[in-house]
Amino acid sequence: MCIKNTLKKWGGVSQLFHWGMFLLLVINYLLAYTMMDMAPTDDKWWLYGMHKQIGVTLLLLFAFRLWWRMQNPVPQDLPTVPHWQNRAAQWNIWILYTLLFLFPLSGLSMSVLGGHAVSYFGLFTIPPLMEGNNPISRFAHEAHEIFSYILGAFVTLHILAALYHHFILKDSILRRMLPRYQSLD
Ligand code: HEM
Ligand code: HEM
């Protein structure tokens, strides 16, 4: 498999970012709803720590992913897809990128601006930047919850569009984001 993108398909690194971050996002949603429902035990706080560390990982991966996208060609729109659908898909992708940045950033802000240090797998610790519960950390907390719904909505649209291309239009949009796809050029 080619590491870099071509004008016909996504390369191995872009695919790894796409599917790896998808997996981590699913894990972090599951961790969030599990940890918030638990009684205050050591296990609960351990899950909070894991959620934060995976969240910071996603923030770091976002930066590398964006950088990698800028180093590479982006597969061209298919001529069989109507212009408005290609534009809608582009908009959705840039909204997803914005959320992939703001969502973990709001979580990190909620923690460090709310008096909590965030340790990252023992490698480094981000110290608290403000004291305890305050209006800014409460705002970040609200934002984190709202972003979780907005990301869920846009990802659902994005997944439905991918499945529509694959099963109804039967074009190569989904296959070119999967390993082992050979474009006919
Ligand atoms: C993209 C990565 C992330 C995802 C997908 C994610 C997802 C979520 C979700 C779905 C919730 C539940 C929201 C609610 O309904 O109230 C939540 C809560 C929470 N998140 Fe994240 N999060 C991410 C990143 C982070 C980061 C980086 C931090 C901190 C460093 C963080 C800290 C928290 C905390 C402390 C809560 C619990 C709030 C409470 O107890 O009410 N999250 N997260
Ligand atoms: C958290 C979930 C997801 C996010 C945030 C996301 C985000 C993105 C982004 C930003 C791109 C642009 C390519 C890039 O720059 O890497 C993309 C492309 C793509 N995604 Fe997703 N994605 C998610 C889940 C999925 C799922 C579950 C599917 C399949 C059912 C899917 C199918 C695709 C396809 C087919 C493309 C390529 C579109 C094209 O070639 O024009 N995505 N996705």
Q: What is the pLDDT of residue 184?
A: 57
The ligand 2 atom nearest the CA atom of 159: 30
**Residue 118 dihedral angles phi and psi, to the nearest 5°:** -120, 115
Residue 52 to residue 38: CA distance in whole angstroms: 16
Domain residue limits at 134: 12-177
Shortest-distance Cα residue to atom 1 of ligand 1 = 104
CATH of the domain at 159: 1.20.810.10
Site of tokens 């998808």 = 22
Amino acid letter, 48: Y
Size of the chain in residues: 185
Q: What is the total count of domains within the chain? A: 1
pTM of the model: 0.95
Query: Is 90 exceeded by the pLDDT of residue 182?
Result: no
117-163 residue pLDDT tens: 999 999 999 999 999 889 999 999 999 999 999 999 999 999 999 99
27-78 residue pLDDT tens: 999 999 999 999 999 999 999 999 999 999 999 999 999 999 999 999 999 9
- Assess if residue 36 is contained within a domain: yes
Ligand 2 site, CB within 6 A:
14, 17-18, 22, 25, 69, 75, 89, 93, 96-97, 100, 155, 158-159, 162-163, 173-174, 176-177
